[in-house]
Amino acid sequence: MDENDSPLTIDIPNVPKHLRITGSWVNSNRIGIYKKLAKGSSEKYDPTVYILRPDIILFSPQLRKLVNESNGVFLSIQKIKSVSGDVRPELLKHSKQYRSILRACIESLQDICGKCLSDKKESLENFLTIFYQIECVWHLIEILYVDVVPGDVILPQLLEWIRFHFPSRELVAVKILAQKTIGADLEYPNYWEAVIGCALHGKLDLVRALLALHSKADHPAFVMAENVLKTMPIYNVYGGYSIDGFTTCWKRWQLELCSNLNSKAFIVDTNLEMIMKLIAGEQDMLWQFSQYTDAWYELLAAKLFYTSPCCKQPELSLHANNISKRWQANRPSDNAIRAVMESNLHRVIKEIQYMGDNGWFAAHLVDLLYACGKLKILDRDQVEVSNQLHESLILEYGNTLMGHRSLWQCGASYLIHCPVQGLARLEILLQSLPMGSEARVNKILDIARDNKMDHIVTSICKIQGLKSMKQGRLGNALAWALKAQDSGFTTYIADQFLKRYAEYGELDCRDLLENLGFCMMASDRLTFLGKYCEFHQMYSIGEFKEAASLLVSLLVSNLTPKYFWSILLSDAIPLLEAKDVILSSSDCFELLRCVEAHGDDLKFQNKIEIFRLAVARNLARALSLEGCQVEH
Amino acid sequence: MVSVLNTVDTGHEDMIHDAEMDYYGLRLATCSSDNSVKIFDLKNGSQSLVADLKGHVGPVWQVTWAHPKFGNLLASCSYDRKVIIWKELGEWTKIYEHNGHDSSVNSVAWAPHEFGLILACGSSDGSVSILINNGDTWDTQKITNAHTIGCNAVSWCPAIEPSFDSSGTQKNGPIKRLATGGCDNLVKIWKEEGDRWIEEDKLEAHSDWVRDVAWAPAVGPSKAALASCSQDRRVIVWTSNDYTSWTPTILNVFDDVIWNVSWSLTGGILAVSGGDNKVSLWRENTEGQWTCISETNKGQGNLNNTDQRAL
Amino acid sequence: MSENVQGTFVSEKISKIRWKHEDFEDATNFITGSWDDPVNKVTHWTFQMNDDGESYPAVVSSYAILGDVTEIKFILKDFFVISTSIGTVRLLQIHENPYSQFKEHMSWEFIHKFDNTNDYASCTGLSTFEQDIVSVGEDGRINLLTAGQKQPVRSINDADSCSMYCIDFLRHNEILTGNLRGHMKVWDLRNDQDLPATTFMLSDQSKTEATSIAHHPTQRHIVVAGGGDGSLTVWDLRHNTYPMSQLNAHAKAVSEILFHPDRPENLFTCSASGELWHWNNTQHSKLSLDPTNTHWLNTIGTNGKVNVTSLCSAMHKPINSIDIDRSTLLFGCDNEAIYVVRNITV
């Protein structure tokens, strides 16, 4: 961070000097909470708590399109990273996609801006400024870092960049030309402005066409100007010239123009003469025309065009520095563009973080450069920190989105691509998402499962189970406990079912319990509950034999909770007393063993005698029946 | 830009000592010198009082929410020497009262949820007690004489897989660690061995009472980090790779006493509040330096658009 | 993305998308519902031409909805019913006079709720049969509504002890529901007892939730259900409740299943995994009228006669909803975009 940064200051209303405030983080990301304590007991207390949140412009509906659409490009780049071979052409395509998203965003902002009321207009205009600047910087970086410039001569691309971002004077020129009025200089007060603008952008064809419409177009000075412009050598890497050959040719042309200027050949019209001086590469004229430019780099492009047309990237820095210094350019985008031209990416990344776009630009740009292999950032000890920087910017951006009620899925997809801290952060943030409907919870779970965060899945399912219990929905709680695969929690809920049965004599949620299938094995207590439910099912449809054998197997299973023994034993009584002998002698011995071991429950005391009698009677009947069977 | 999301008029009849949001940022718990604890629902910028919990007979210093997988649980500690655990069972009810301290209980903190439902309490009697939930009962462990004259703050180390923790001797899962700060100007690190807590480290750098300690959340295989603040107006960030040697970095020397340090949910940003009426946010850049990213202050309006920077 | 797919970013996650079908011409209007924002919207769209002569979706009007929109179904040309995650069902009309807007004709508030805590419960789905509407919710309740009546005709309060996720009107007196545990229940509405006529399982192996149900447009006893694990299961309910075929299809939960209304040999499915598939059995289309009971859906998964094609490269966020009119398909996605897929061969 820079020394000249003044800290961001937030005004909390009504905090008198004598009060003390304390801040602590709210668990969801980046919300600070501030509370106040009175200092001395003599002071009056203030019972107010303030909760603060950074304003994120990306959350505004107009910009959410940008957030989501660029997320698609980001994810697509992550796929490219794993592909081998030359990926530069692909990445250039993605860089252009980012820019077209920016363009679409700017156009839709302009659209809305034109229609809306003034109070909203201000913030929309603010957005527009931010994204205009981003688009401009992105484009330049694309030219200098992502695209491959043939022959490394960058002027043609620079001019294209300038023309794209400052189209207004060319538009005026086209409008004048469309009228085809002779004497356009008399007709249009902004005629010369258009000519100069086009000259600064190197649009010589437009300059010539405009001059041809001048009222004195037939004057020898204008004819000569036309000739000079027509013959000006323009470097083209495919033009068949070597750079040296071109330079000789261009120098000769320039010399001739200078001698014409010295012989006052253009004196008939001041503006024409000034333009010719510019074209001849006169520095002073360049600065005189700076009033017709909106940014220092417009002037830079003109300077290169007329004085150094074969400029290569390394030489750009010096020119950029000279012009921007004299211009006293100081907006974040100015600084960023200067740093881009100086090939100082470290500085670029610093500067673009001041643009007020909540880190969108920095995260996506750095990721693109990283994928291009162009990100080499050294810290003050000359240690490479590119990986850390790349990750930290994406983490921050992902973190920001995770703080939004709806954009969390988008945020998560950034965190997932941060190899060092991403998943640990995602883990914490996923847990802090408010739950809502089960549809939402299932989507949160999907992301946890995708990233193999089993304990998060378990924890979220358990929280859902607890919520269901609070709502009195034991069945749904059990369903979530089973989803959680948390046997302890499953046992706890199965216990609730059994305890409710013990108290009210009714099994809840039979539709669920009768259809547990193999999930019944999730915990011993649930197995017991499921089997006990099956026992009731059998009993109710008159399958007493089946019911009895289930009951006996439950009795010997060692699964019976202590509080449930009296119920199981009581359930045996009607079966013992049934008309047909259902329980065998060995079953009876088991029953007697159980009642010895567990029949001391107070709730069973009034039944214990009946039970013993019933067992004895059944035993007698069973023995005689079994005896008969043996005899036969 | 930062704006006020909620303004909660708590209705407390005396000064507020603590205000904590639950895991989802949907509920706010506050406590006050009026002996009460209050819970508010915050929805769409509005607030409603859910519960006004009365049970303490002295000023309540701190409140803390348990992880939601244990249900809706809140612990509070007070000058009345008591720690109370509250649970929402239809209504908010007191489910446990801990009376194991001989003096004011200044700080309470729930252990990372991976360890189960465990609460640490630091008291002016110099001891730290640890309450462990076993279904319907609570077991107590105690570190007696943790800090002479008194313990002001407790904070749990995040649960970290033993693979990272090189000093890990226990094979079964992560080790429980606790940091405490006290009136002996010390920060101490405690570690559970068996059912005992042993002093693992004693961090000496502050020259006055330590007011707060806060363990940074563990994100990624970075080093362990702990922040402490003190009457000596300093905030120190302690880092260690092995829990045995700790490196102090003085984040800043402030103009006034620092009462409170608080880490953002995913670490990275430390909020520092002091007696100078300011809350400042600090983060470590990629070059390892701590810098202030924003400051909360009275009387200076006008924000710019900058937010946070990584460099 | 292939050339016949056109995306429009809309700044909200789309939970439902439905064509407003026309009788004798291609549909030109559709409705979307959104979810997960504090206030969501039902939006009426139409197609407009831009300067380049491309047709693109444009908003006609929007209607603010509290809670998430969980279902949209047309019951008449202009009339449609929506359900929300705060337990409400509304009957809305696309009203053209004097200018286009929505008109609310009926609102059944709070018909899904948790009785214990008196909290609203999400109405997870609804299905319609002429003027009859039946809704299910996380409260395990079935509500039977009719368009002209404010009070529910009937409520089955404890229809399920788990959250119900999907519902389908099979016949005027018969509905099929699916729940969180994959329990499928057929309810005979003539029966006064609040008990299902039959219960069967989505899958015996995995206890996954039933996320969507669709029936064959002309053979209503042929039913397809999608699971939370991405599986598809087909039943012929005339015979038994044992599935005719079952297959692992998508990588994640099936969000919606859609038979082409005019050409039912085409089935479309979309998923939380971001996939959108077209199942096509044109060469066997005559089979659907074959009395020998081998419906083409019977054979999916067992032989290669069914073509499955992806209609677009996988989205990186869940696709929540699809609808088709003739050869134009719409889908809505959690990446806050709606997509138009044109010229589908059916």
Chains A and B: how many Cβ contacts under 8 Å?
A: 251
Question: Does residue B256 sit within a domain?
Answer: no
Q: How far is CA A376 from each of CA A36, A140, A370, A379, A394, rounded to the nearest angstrom?
A: 46, 18, 8, 10, 17
Taking CB atoms and an 8 Å cutoff, what residues of chain B touch A20? Answer: 259, 275, 277
Candidates C289, C273, C291, C270; CA nearest to C281 is C289
DSSP structural state of residue A284: H
Percentage of chain A with pLDDT > 70?
A: 92
Instruction: For residue A477, name the pLDDT band (cuts at 50, 70, 90).
Output: very high
DSSP structural state of residue B66: P
Q: Which residues contact A97 (CB under 8 A, 6 or more apart)?
A: A73
Measured N-to-C along each axis, helices A360-372 and A88-115 cross at an angle, to the nearest 10 degrees, of: 160
Per the DSSP assignment, residues forming a β-bridge with A91 are: none
Taking CB atoms and an 8 Å cutoff, what residues of chain C touch A442? Answer: 209, 228, 253, 272
Dihedral (Cα; C188, C193, C198, C201), 10-degree rounding: 110
Domain count, chain B: 1
Kindly report the number of other CB atoms within 10 A of residue A428's CB atom: 21
Is the bond preceding residue C38 a cis peptide, omega within 30 degrees? no
Higher per-residue confidence, C317 vs B241: C317
Question: Does residue C134 sit within a domain?
Answer: yes
Judged against a pLDDT cut of 60, whether residue A4 lies above it is answered with no
Residue B110 has φ and ψ, to the nearest 5°, of -80, 140
Question: Does residue B210 sit within a domain?
Answer: no
Q: Do A65 and C140 touch (CB under 8 A)?
A: no
Question: Does residue B288 sit within a domain?
Answer: no
* Structural domain boundaries, residue B120: 9-145
Q: What is the mean pLDDT of residues A11-36?
A: 52
CA distance A64 to C36: 14
DSSP structural state of residue B232: T
Judged against a pLDDT cut of 90, whether residue B296 lies above it is answered with no
DSSP structural state of residue A379: -
B28: contact with A, CB 8 A cutoff: yes
Taking CB atoms and an 8 Å cutoff, what residues of chain A touch B112? Answer: none
Q: What is the CATH number of the domain that holds C160?
A: 2.130.10.10
| Maximum pairwise Cα distance, chain A | 144
Counting as contact any 3 or more CB pairs under 8 A, the partners of B are A
Per the DSSP assignment, residues forming a β-bridge with A579 are: none
Say which range, C47-51, C234-238, C297-301, C309-313, has the weakest mean pLDDT.
C297-301
Question: Does residue C28 sit within a domain?
Answer: yes
Taking CB atoms and an 8 Å cutoff, what residues of chain A touch C336? Answer: 64-65, 68
Judged against a pLDDT cut of 70, whether residue B308 lies above it is answered with no
Say which range, A80-84, A121-125, A467-471, B84-88, has the weakest mean pLDDT.
A80-84
Question: Does residue C25 sit within a domain?
Answer: yes
Supply the DSSP string of A516-553, one letter for each residue.
-GGGGGG-HHHHHHHHHHHHHHHHHTT-HHHHHHHHHH
Instruction: For residue A134, name the pLDDT band (cuts at 50, 70, 90).
Output: very high
Chains A and C: how many Cβ contacts under 8 Å?
A: 126
Candidates A304, A348, A343; CA nearest to A323 is A304
Higher per-residue confidence, A377 vs A162: A162
pLDDT of residue A6: 42
Question: Does residue C238 sit within a domain?
Answer: yes
Token representation of residue A517: 């299938």
Domain count, chain C: 1
Higher per-residue confidence, C99 vs C288: C99
pLDDT of residue A2: 35
In the block, residue with structure tokens 């780099």: A297
Please, what is the average pLDDT of chain A?
Answer: 87
Q: What is the mean pLDDT of residues B244-273?
A: 87
Instruction: For residue A9, name the pLDDT band (cuts at 50, 70, 90).
Output: low
Token representation of residue C273: 């995994």
Residue C193 has φ and ψ, to the nearest 5°, of -70, 140
Please, what is the average pLDDT of chain C?
Answer: 90
Q: Chain B: residue nearest A12 by CA?
A: B298
pLDDT of residue B295: 43
DSSP structural state of residue B217: P
Read off the pLDDT of residues A565-613 as tens digits, 9 standing for 90 and up: 999 999 999 999 888 888 999 999 999 999 988 888 888 888 889 999 9
Q: Do A12 and B285 touch (CB under 8 A)?
A: no
Round to the nearest angstrom and report the end-to-end CA distance of chain B.
Answer: 19
Q: Do C117 and A476 touch (CB under 8 A)?
A: no
pLDDT of residue B1: 60
Read off the pLDDT of residues A394-431 as tens digits, 9 standing for 90 and up: 998 999 999 899 999 999 999 999 998 899 999 999 99
Judged against a pLDDT cut of 90, whether residue B177 lies above it is answered with yes
Taking CB atoms and an 8 Å cutoff, what residues of chain A touch C139? Answer: 473
Please, what is the average pLDDT of chain B?
Answer: 85
pLDDT of residue B307: 32
H-only helix segments in chain C: 296-299
Q: What is the mean pLDDT of residues C70-77?
A: 95
Predicted ipTM of the assembly: 0.94
Q: Do C161 and A440 touch (CB under 8 A)?
A: no
Percentage of chain C with pLDDT > 70?
A: 92
Residue A489 has φ and ψ, to the nearest 5°, of -70, -40
Q: Which residues contact A624 (CB under 8 A, 6 or more apart)?
A: none
C64: contact with A, CB 8 A cutoff: no
pLDDT of residue C291: 41
Whether the Cβ atoms of residue C241 and residue C249 lie closer than 8 Å to each other = no
Dihedral sign, CA of C6, C10, C16, C18?
negative
pLDDT of residue A22: 66
Q: Do A61 and C11 touch (CB under 8 A)?
A: yes
Q: How far is B120 from chain A (nearest CA, A)?
A: 19
Q: What is the mean pLDDT of residues A210-226?
A: 91
CA distance C244 to C257: 17
Read off the pLDDT of residues B240-256 as tens digits, 9 standing for 90 and up: 988 889 999 999 899 88
Q: What residues of chain B, 65 to 94, have a C-beta less than 8 Å from chain A?
A: 67-69, 71, 88, 90
Question: Does residue B272 sit within a domain?
Answer: no
A376: contact with C, CB 8 A cutoff: no
Question: Does residue B140 sit within a domain?
Answer: yes
DSSP structural state of residue A145: I
Per the DSSP assignment, residues forming a β-bridge with C16 are: C33
Taking CB atoms and an 8 Å cutoff, what residues of chain A touch B134? Answer: none
CA distance B21 to B38: 12
Whether the Cβ atoms of residue B32 and residue B19 lie closer than 8 Å to each other = no
Q: What is the mean pLDDT of residues A141-165?
A: 88
DSSP structural state of residue B113: G
Candidates C207, C212, C152, C204; CA nearest to C176 is C212
Whether the Cβ atoms of residue A469 and residue A493 lie closer than 8 Å to each other = yes
pLDDT of residue A539: 93
Secondary structure (3-state) at C338: strand
Q: Do A15 and B293 touch (CB under 8 A)?
A: no
* Structural domain boundaries, residue C143: 14-266
CA distance C100 to A550: 66
Q: What is the CATH number of the domain that holds B89?
A: 2.130.10.10
C76: contact with A, CB 8 A cutoff: no
Secondary structure (3-state) at C235: strand
Round to the nearest angstrom and report the end-to-end CA distance of chain A.
Answer: 100
